[in-house]
Amino acid sequence: MKTGHLIHFSDARCMTAVADDSIDLVVTSPPYPMIEMWDDLFQKLDSAVKTCLSRQDGPGMFEVMHRVLDPVWQESFRVLKPGGFACINIGDATRTIDSHFALYTNHARILSAAREIGFTSLPCIIWRKQTNAPNKFMGSGMLPAGAYVTLEHEYILILRKHGKREFKGAEEKQRRRESAIFWEERNHWFSDVWFDLKGTVQALADAQDRKRSAAFPFELAYRLINMFSVKGDQVLDPFMGTGTTMAAAMAAGRSSTGFDTDTHLTPAIQRTARGVKPLAGQVAARRLAQHQEFVEHRLAAGKPLKHANEPYGFPVVTSQEKFLYLLVPADLIQTDATRFRVTHEMAQLPFTYSLFDN
């Protein structure tokens, strides 16, 4: 199986290069309104941001910044196929403006814009982030009635264009079966609180690159892609940054398109792509090894696993996992400055499976 990965260094408010109804899944994280690191970018995109900032008008600035993002949500809706999902990682912001401390609810503002556009809002995920910062207490410290609750979570908003996706024809139905996730992963991944995303074995790109562009963890994009798309699908990230979504699509056997206005990200994106093969191998090996561990515990507890997975020959809990197999990139080449082509093969078991022999 082959997938293609394309980068557009242009403004995602106008994604004319992407046809209507052509994308299966959007996975993205925009610049966060009201977080100071993104002030310059928003000011460049709309001068009204600067006017609000000089007037110390927090609510005005919040609204103008979101009006910069709104067209991207509109464009995402246009390019998504009916039944396609959009997963948007966004955090709220706290900020003191003119001595007034307030919470700016980015997630709520994006949800209301998305609903107006026509998206259906589905149950979302709270990503509980680990923070060990010593200065995390805000306000009056130990003295009552002036301290503020610390923001230790972000959101992953889950939206859908129109109703449920239909899988038509034998080939598409089989691709869906082969893209199943393990029963035990389903219980974990479809929980509405994600506690840790430390699973990534190896960092992508350069730690500094990733920090500068506020990259989300590889595991976040990889899970969402496996939860909301099937092998061979088209994934879009309108704010691709260092290319984490592209890397996760490459690892999971989906094609991808990414947009970013910052051409300086080119070396970081290339470093990300170079890291994909070893990372994808480790991620697949870990998932398969975790399934083996799960099977051993379940059998030891006297609980049955009634079904057999055909590609790997190991037991699984449900018949939906019968055709499940994981992909890894066998060959990854950059065909020009903004394109990659990946050939995928089935991930092999990192161990010899012997449970059926016993």
Ligand X SMILES: C[S@@+](CC[C@H](N)C(=O)[O-])C[C@H]1O[C@@H](n2cnc3c(N)ncnc32)[C@H](O)[C@@H]1O
Query: Binding residues for ligand X, per CB under 6 A?
Result: 11-13, 29-31, 41, 213-216, 238-239, 241-242, 244, 259-262
> How near is the Cβ of 182 to ligand X at its closest, in Å?
25
How many C-alpha atoms does 340 have within 13 Å on its Cβ side? 30
* 1 alpha-carbon distance from chain centroid: 23
- Please state the φ and ψ torsions of residue 257, each to the nearest 5 degrees: -130, 135
**Nearer CB in complex with ligand X: 13/307:** 13
Number of helices followed by number of strands (H, E) in the chain:
10, 16
Q: Quick check: 87 and 25 in contact, CB under 8 A? A: yes
d(CA 131, CA 137): 11
> How near is the Cβ of 113 to ligand X at its closest, in Å?
15
> Facing residues of 307 across strands?
316
**Nearer CB in complex with ligand X: 248/285:** 248
Q: Please name the residue that has the structure tokens 């060959």.
A: 331
Which residue's CB atom is positioned nearest to ligand X? 241
Instruction: Please name the helix (run of DSSP H) or strand (run of DSSP E) that holds residue 101, with its range, or none.
Output: strand 100-104
**Nearer CB in complex with ligand X: 31/84:** 31
> How near is the Cβ of 65 to ligand X at its closest, in Å?
11
Residue 21, classified by CB atoms within 10 Å of its CB into exposed (0-12), middle (13-18) or buried (19+), is exposed
**Nearer CB in complex with ligand X: 34/349:** 34
Q: Quick check: 349 and 328 in contact, CB under 8 A? A: no
> How near is the Cβ of 43 to ligand X at its closest, in Å?
12
> How near is the Cβ of 7 to ligand X at its closest, in Å?
11
**Nearer CB in complex with ligand X: 26/328:** 26
> How near is the Cβ of 258 to ligand X at its closest, in Å?
9
Instruction: Please name the helix (run of DSSP H) or strand (run of DSSP E) that holds residue 343, with its range, or none.
Output: strand 339-346
**Nearer CB in complex with ligand X: 183/239:** 239
> How near is the Cβ of 176 to ligand X at its closest, in Å?
27
**Nearer CB in complex with ligand X: 184/260:** 260
Q: Quick check: 255 and 341 in contact, CB under 8 A? A: no
Q: Which residue type does 76 have?
A: S
d(CA 76, CA 261): 16
187 DSSP assignment: H
